[in-house]
A and B are shown apart, each in its own frame.
Chain A
């Protein structure tokens, strides 16, 4: 596939790039000698776990070193110009005009105080490429090409008045404003729902094709990069693992590490059937809920969770998944209906529940960073529930903490006295699990537990949860928007949209057609490893209406 670029002129050539970061009074290498050659019109995917140095390389391609980092050696040659020695003024002239950057969170990158189109035209005006009116017309044309609804008018809105997916597309349009030679996409779809992701991916791919722009596409999602990139480069801890054209890389990865990345999604476990005639462990019955004074967020939500089973609740953001969890835990008392636990009604507010009722239902959070108190030792974080519920103390408590640490596969002696900031993301999530287990619950709510983690780490967490379920007979309510996760560990699936349960049933039934149209949309939107998946899907759906997919 990259053969077609053999003859294209080289746009960006990075040679033996080394970048160091300043931490604890010494310079630590972050990027350890990476080479990269990008031809005009070529899209290169950079993949790797967090901390692999993807974003650092992306920034370096603009000649930019983030605060606290420095480019220590190597060369970055952009279209014949050496960026490592270029003056700040020369680099500034390049950025925006010839190299553009699309950040992960468009919501955080747009200035909320200015209209979208004013921010769009800022660069062309600044570089005197176009007059204001011409630039605005050009912006509208770009919006149209990116299939934004109402392209003539949408630019005159403020960033908070458009949806996340639209904003991300507007940001891509903004990057195209000066028709740059190179765009750096830094995880542009990671923060989006699957259904929205498709539109953005399609839009980015089209526009990059149309203008023959070269791009560096940074992501940790292999399926996404398979759709976008001509070449894939795999990074690990600041070093290149391998690079190959996309098709070749997918079919025949050479290195062990790449193979392990590819195999991540293969984790499966046998599906369990509902026990006959048993009372459900947790039963959500006709629940309506709303936040103070607001509209109904949940509307007649009912589903059951049986002992030892995993129920996955899926839906895009805003569909009421997490609100349901808040109702079950008692943080948000429902306005109608209620929650039954082992056939008994639970008091609507957690404040009225008994210690034992609180103990039975535990929660694992999405962001392990905010779920663990950074100023409390691991031993105390895990030990507190054990001490609180079971009244353990002294050596018994220590033994229990050690046991729990063993259970989550962290060595007790090593982690006992550490603080959460000293741990990696996956380890923190494990501590979160241990804290939930310390209460000896029969039911755990997992709120997007793997979505903030790298795929390899996420798989480890899923395996751990699965093992714990078998050993301790736990029931899980698994909130997620990632259907790959659902496929691997769920027994039953509940699909939610706009605060309602759209469809519910055992996994095998749910994953075989016919589906409810919304379930179908969700299912077909999950990127697959096949590089032609997006093309096929767009053909199936019809290119023109893909832009409205999220508005269903």
Chain B
């Protein structure tokens, strides 16, 4: 038996005993059942399996630690009212915020952080990782790490502007439809139905093949695809607000639609809209990455996570995980945004788990 296995079991049993002694029931049950499972795992999978468990647990603990610290950090630097809210955030939300924060830094300061330019050829094709290239080189010999950093700027920036565009269009139309009602509501609603009836990817491909794959076209196409969802949500939320007596009072006062939307309805609709924004952002992000993967998104040599997956896809058959790194970057951001959105939804709707 290797030293690692002995230490592994001693640590687990000691932790279980401590948990039991301090009456931490759930922690104890978790730790001890992990010990029991480890017996079986150790026999079946050997030391390797145990090492995997240990590393996973360590990573999880590390992520939890980072999230905890980041939350405390935010509480300290935020103003008191906001700090109080942040204190109630679960660790998952803090983790999400940390990831988003990291991506934002990477995207904004990309030229300073990245060691090489995004289209700079510095090595041979598919060169393995070394001291200067953290993640090796891609199919043209460009530094993978630098391209991921630049990708944060390009892909996330594009997705963000597309989401914002979709949001402004959808929310404005939704608010207008809810306040005005009547034929305007019908026209906007049916228009939204028509757009939603067309499969989104096909619609995007169509638009991009007609107008060419420019950034502006991508943004507009994606915004048109996602605006109807925002429209529907906004209309539903605003519809509930519009029937309130205070809206009636404002109408009887003779207020114009602009005032009604801005001052009376919007403040009551922000919480679900912000949550929806996060959710929508994930979908848009995935669609943009998908378009790039198909070669119709951001065009080379601009670094972009979706196309990076495609360009390096051949490596996967050689057992290299390089093409999965940009995919993992996409996955991580989507999960992080969802964590934050879950927390916001929880706060805005009082949703119980």
Chain A positions within 8 Å of B, measured between CB atoms, are 25, 329-331, 350, 353, 355, 358, 362-363, 365, 367, 370-376, 380, 384-385, 388-389, 435, 439
Contacts and interface: CB of A to CB of B under 8 A. Distances in A.
B254 to A, nearest CB: 5
Contact of B254 (A355, A363, A435): A355
Given A330-B252, A363-B248, A370-B244, 5 more contacts: A25-B88, A329-B252, A331-B248, A331-B252, A376-B264
A367 B243 CA distance: 13
Nearest to A438: B253
Most chain B CB within a 10 A radius of its CB, from A370, A372, A375, A389: A375
A213 B248 CA distance: 47
Interface in B220-256: 244-246, 248-249, 251-255
Contacts of B268: 373-375
B271 to A, nearest CB: 10
A436 to B, nearest CB: 9
B319 interface: no
Nearest to A353: B254
B23 interface: no
Question: Lowest 5 CB-CB distances: which A-B pairs, in order?
Answer: A375-B267, A371-B245, A373-B246, A365-B245, A370-B245
B244 A358 contact: no
Nearest to A368: B245
Contacts of A372: 246
B254 A388 contact: yes
A331 B249 CA distance: 10
B254 A373 contact: no
Contacts of B253: 358, 384-385, 388-389, 439
Contact of A376 (B251, B255, B267): B267
A388 B255 contact: yes
Contact of A365 (B249, B251, B264): B249
Given A373-B264, A373-B268, A388-B255, A435 B248 contact: no
Given A371-B245, A371-B246, A376-B267, A350 B252 contact: yes
Interface string B261-285: 0011001100000000000000000
A381 B252 CA distance: 14
25 contacts: A331-B248, A331-B251, A350-B252, A350-B254, A355-B254, A358-B252, A358-B254, A363-B248, A363-B252, A365-B249, A367-B245, A370-B244, A370-B245, A371-B249, A372-B246, A373-B244, A373-B246, A373-B264, A373-B268, A374-B268, A375-B268, A376-B263, A376-B264, A380-B263, A435-B249
Most chain B CB within a 10 A radius of its CB, from A350, A367, A373, A388: A373
A358 B255 CA distance: 11
Interface of B: 88, 244-246, 248-249, 251-255, 263-264, 267-268
A388 B251 CA distance: 12
A23 to B, nearest CB: 13
A374 B251 CA distance: 17
Most chain A CB within a 10 A radius of its CB, from B244, B255, B264: B244
A329 B253 CA distance: 10
A373 B267 contact: yes
Contacts of A371: 244-246, 249
Contacts of A374: 268
B347 to A, nearest CB: 14
A363 B264 CA distance: 18
Contacts of A376: 263-264, 267
Most chain A CB within a 10 A radius of its CB, from B248, B255, B263, B267: B248
A546 B45 CA distance: 81
A374 B267 CA distance: 9
A358 B250 CA distance: 11
B75 to A, nearest CB: 14
Nearest to B251: A350
Contacts of A350: 251-252, 254
Contacts of B244: 370-371, 373
Nearest to B244: A370
Nearest to A356: B254
Contacts of A385: 253
Contacts of A384: 253, 263
A373 B248 CA distance: 11
Nearest to A381: B246
A384 B263 CA distance: 11
A330 B263 CA distance: 23
A241 B268 CA distance: 40
A452 to B, nearest CB: 12
A84 B245 CA distance: 43
Contacts of B255: 388
A373 B267 CA distance: 9
Nearest to A366: B245
Nearest to B264: A373
A353 B253 CA distance: 10
B257 to A, nearest CB: 11
A331 B200 CA distance: 42
Nearest to B248: A331
A350 B251 CA distance: 8
Most chain B CB within a 10 A radius of its CB, from A329, A353, A384, A389: A384
Contacts of B88: 25
A376 B263 CA distance: 8
Nearest to A326: B248
A374 B241 CA distance: 11
A363 B249 contact: yes
A46 B267 CA distance: 40
